[in-house]
């Protein structure tokens, strides 16, 4: 009864709780609900388009790149669905909402890092760096997805959820920081190695445009991760929750363009040789 009253009682923006202090359900405000629905619709549209585009554009459907794009896009769709059910629909079962949201979160966060990793060999030729990046992605996924998911489920199904709250308050900001840092590390590797190639002087105008687009995209990824992390630490969890699927869908769509441009440049005979800073 209290939950229904909370969802139907208008709360002005000046008094709005942006931190889910009520336990997760969004308080009624038409502006907030409209923004939530709009960003969710954009995340759905971009992700569905990418699934179809990737399936039609690539002949090989067993590559890491194709699999990572598909998993990330489907993860965004699931996470968006979980957020809608848990934040906008008060009658939806909490455990069901959590299962959908967690599967989607795991898929889009680690999936996006795998998208970046799957094309990293085009600019980084040192196998030790590539192995280290893959080890980082794998380790972070196992440690932080597992621990965070276990704590989230414990908070929902345990008869004593307060027992797990201190650990959850530690791991939630930790996982946010770790995964944002992980994407930034991979983005910086792209920026560093392509910038070295750009300074070599052996580049045509078309190649320079492609490389500048790649560098700009990686800076954009770092900026979006910074924004999400900033909202998290500021306690604006409603905004962070609203923007997360959309930001990941946007990053995935733009990476799909620039990484395919990079692949086209390499297939066309422009190969970045990092150690020698030359072009073959």
Per-residue pLDDT, averaged over 19-39, amounts to 83
Residue ranges of the domains in the chain?
2-10+23-263
Q: What is the CATH architecture of 2-10+23-263?
A: Up-down Bundle (1.20)
Full DSSP string of 133-198 = HHHHHHHHIIIIIHHHHHHHHHHHH-S-GGGTHHHHHHHHHHHHHHHHHHHHHHHHHHHHHHHHHH
Long-range CB pairs of 126-129, under 8 A, 24+ apart, other chains included: 126/274, 126/275, 129/189
* pLDDT band, very low/low/confident/very high, at 177 (cuts 50, 70, 90): very high
Give me the chain's average pLDDT, please. Answer: 88
* pLDDT band, very low/low/confident/very high, at 247 (cuts 50, 70, 90): very high
First to last CA, the chain: 70
85 is written with which tokens?
A: 């059910």
Question: What pTM was estimated for this model as a whole?
Answer: 0.90
Per-residue pLDDT, averaged over 118-146, amounts to 95
* pLDDT band, very low/low/confident/very high, at 270 (cuts 50, 70, 90): low
Helix or strand holding residue 270 (H, E): none
Report percent pLDDT > 70 for the chain: 88
Q: Is the pLDDT of residue 233 over 60?
A: yes
């Amino acid at each position: 009864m209290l939950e229904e009253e909370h969802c139907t009682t208008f709360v002005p923006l000046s008094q709005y709780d942006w931190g889910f202090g009520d336990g997760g359900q969004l308080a009624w405000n038409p502006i907030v609900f409209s923004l939530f629905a709009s960003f969710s619709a954009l995340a759905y549209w971009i992700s569905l388009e990418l699934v179809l585009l990737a399936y039609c554009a690539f002949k090989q459907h067993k590559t890491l790149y194709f699999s990572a794009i598909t998993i990330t896009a489907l993860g965004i769709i699931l996470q968006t669905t979980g957020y809608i059910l848990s934040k906008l629909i008060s009658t939806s079962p909490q455990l069901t909402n959590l299962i959908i949201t967690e599967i989607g979160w795991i898929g889009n966060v680690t999936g996006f890092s795998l998208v970046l990793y799957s094309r990293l060999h085009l600019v980084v030729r040192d196998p030790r760096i590539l192995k280290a990046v893959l080890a980082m992605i794998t380790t972070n996924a196992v440690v932080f997805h597992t621990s965070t998911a276990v704590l989230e489920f414990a908070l929902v199904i345990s008869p004593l959820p307060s027992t797990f709250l201190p650990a959850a308050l530690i791991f939630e900001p930790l996982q946010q920081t770790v995964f944002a840092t992980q994407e930034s590390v991979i983005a910086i590797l792209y920026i560093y190695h392509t910038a070295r190639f750009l300074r070599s002087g052996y580049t045509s105008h078309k190649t320079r445009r492609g490389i500048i687009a790649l560098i700009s995209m990686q800076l954009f990824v770092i900026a979006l991760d910074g924004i999400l992390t900033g909202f998290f630490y500021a306690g604006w969890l409603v905004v962070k929750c609203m923007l997360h699927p959309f930001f990941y869908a946007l990053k995935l769509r733009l990476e799909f363009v620039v990484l395919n441009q990079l692949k086209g440049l390499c297939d066309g005979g422009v190969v970045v040789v990092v150690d020698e800073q030359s072009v073959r």
